Amino acid sequence: MSENLMSLTLRIWRQPNAATAGKISEYKLAGVSSDMSFLEMLDMLNEELTVKGEEPVAFDYDCREGICGMCGIVINGVPHGRGNSAVATTTCQLHMRNFKDGDVITIEPWRATPFPIIKDLVVDRRAFDKIIASGGYISVNTGAAPEAHANAVSKLKADRAFDAATCVGCGACVAACPNHSGMLFVAAKITHLAMLPQGQPERPLRIKTMIGTHDELGFAGCQNAGECAAVCPKEIPLDTIAQLNRDLIASLFNRAGKSTAAE
């Protein structure tokens, strides 16, 4: 694909800190290559702002390989953005070829009560860390690495566990949800461990503590809007929440959560 250069109008949310009101600021940026990633385009803008003596735009990133889940930005109303070639992608994997010369792009942070804004496009997502700390792990002492076939896991269970484990905890599900629910995130962690033998001893307690922490931190309940799964960069399916609900109901009767029909 040949390189194209474009001029863009960027409408970016600027907010110096959590205590100060924010606003949309407009910037003109020329010479943007279609081969750039979205974050590289923001780097280019920040270089120009720095040269002018202006404050650069603060935004989150780390690996820039779609692995860490740090690059949370709402682009034209869609978490991580969307385009012709942008399906199931994180912001760092979104390329400027999905835009055209003269486009106006609105760039905002995740907007959810449990994710308070720190500065500009950076939000505090430690709420997810607290949910994981409350139960998203196993405490079984497994010792040395066992033989691969020591604990047999069916193909269907293994596939479902792997699919759920791909969640990177970016928070797009919360940003997209009209109810600001984190249920898809919690469901991914619950399902990942529920499908494996190592996750069984703490299974009933895990769901209750993680859901309890989720609610205490201000996340709302799921209303099946489906927006979470639609924007998930790892395509965690909506029916993962059904597994969460089955485990939650089962935990109330102090027994292991029921598995999916596929199992």
Q: What is d(CA 32, CA 4) in angstroms, rounded to the nearest whole number?
A: 8
The CATH number corresponding to 5-118 among 2.70.98.10, 3.40.50.10260, 3.10.20.30, 3.40.190.10 equals: 3.10.20.30
HSE, CB side, 13 Å, CA atoms: give it for residue 166: 16
Tell me the whole-structure pTM to 2 decimals: 0.89
Tokens of 237: 């399916």
Residue type, 129: D
Query: 43-63 burial, b for 16+ CB within 10 Å, e for fewer?
Result: ebbbeeeeeeeeeebbbbbee
pLDDT along the chain (263 residues), means of 10: 86 95 97 96 98 97 93 95 76 94 97 95 97 90 70 90 95 96 97 91 92 96 93 94 92 60 41
What pLDDT is attached to residue 263?
Answer: 43
What pLDDT is attached to residue 261?
Answer: 38
What pLDDT is attached to residue 97?
Answer: 92
What pLDDT is attached to residue 2?
Answer: 60
What pLDDT is attached to residue 257?
Answer: 44
Cβ neighbour number for residue 98 with a 10 Å cutoff:
17
What pLDDT is attached to residue 84?
Answer: 61
Which CATH number is associated with domain 125-262?
1.10.1060.10
Domain ranges in the chain are: 5-118, 125-262
What pLDDT is attached to residue 142?
Answer: 64
Residue 151: its H or E element: none
Q: What is d(CA 59, CA 42) in angstroms, rounded to the nearest whole number?
A: 9
